[in-house]
Amino acid sequence: MPSLRSRALSAALTAAGRRRRFATAEAVRARVARSARRPASHLPPRSLGRVADVSRTFVGAWPVYDAAPRGREPVARVLYVHGGAYIDELVRPHWSLIRTLVTQARARVVVPAYVLAPRGTADRTVPVAADLLSGLIESGGAGGTVLIGDSAGAGLALAAAQRLRERTGAQPSRIVLISPWLDVSMTHPGQAEIEAADPVQARPGLVEAGRLYAGTLAVDDPRVSPLHGSFAGLAPLTVFTGTRDVLSTDSRELLRRARAAGSEVEWHEEAGLPHLYPLLPVPEGRAARDRIVELIRETAHER
């Protein structure tokens, strides 16, 4: 049974009509057009600078933020890839999680503000993300490297890990996927029933966002939908999902395919919880964040 706070928040999300953002393909195209006219900010909140040393560099056209514990040596490295259906920038809940990783896990967190669809498509985006991951793994220093992504960012993160494995065989210490979007076709037969209870997402808009991200690639290309890629030889995986998330079918398919390929999967499925519950101010979200902090701390003695 979800906590009272979780139930109240899901009801509030439903009442606020959050699903309208993805109700139709037209709604998504209109959002993309508005963003092109007036791009949203991806800047970190000023409050992060009170607890972290924050810098920004550029990798090609990508602004890449680097946040490290202020006054303390980091014990591990994190590459954090944000969600937003490939069409939305970093927002406050992402930065709140980043703050937690810096202050509680004592991690150096690298955060790419990757180019959004339709300008940023999988054929261009995945190789750059793989380069960033490779560079962070090779940078040395204390601890290991943890790759974290949420929603669409989890899809990009997994595709980058698959790409890096194919290039060199290198992998991070662990891959953490939060409510991952791993198949942009949205064709799983179990999604229709779950969608009716999802307070946040709807399939028509997600299909359109996925089409924009795919660009000239097929939607089942592993660079676009890494669920169709190989799971052999990947780092250990940790997956968080909720049963009121239409994308939970992707997580379950990942669990089946990864374990069939011999990969290690730590599995967290919360009954009655919505998309991205680990980022929400609810007890279950706090427990998920605590577990992510533990996972990062466990890499502290890796070299």
Measure the N-to-C terminal CA separation of the chain; round to a whole number of Å.
41
Vertex 254, ends 77 and 264: CA angle to 5°? 55
pTM over 0.85: yes
Residues of the chain predicted below pLDDT 70: 141-142, 302-303
Vertex 109, ends 128 and 95: CA angle to 5°? 100
CA–CA gap between residue 245 and residue 280 (Å, rounded) = 14
Q: Based on the number of CB atoms within 10 Å of its own CB, is 1 exposed (0-12), middle (13-18) or buried (19 or more)? A: exposed
Q: Specify the pLDDT at position 1.
A: 85
Q: Specify the pLDDT at position 142.
A: 67
Residues in CB range of 65: below 8 A, 6 or more apart: 44, 54, 55, 56, 110, 111, 112, 113
CA–CA gap between residue 44 and residue 6 (Å, rounded) = 27
Provide the 10 A C-beta neighbour count for residue 141. Answer: 14
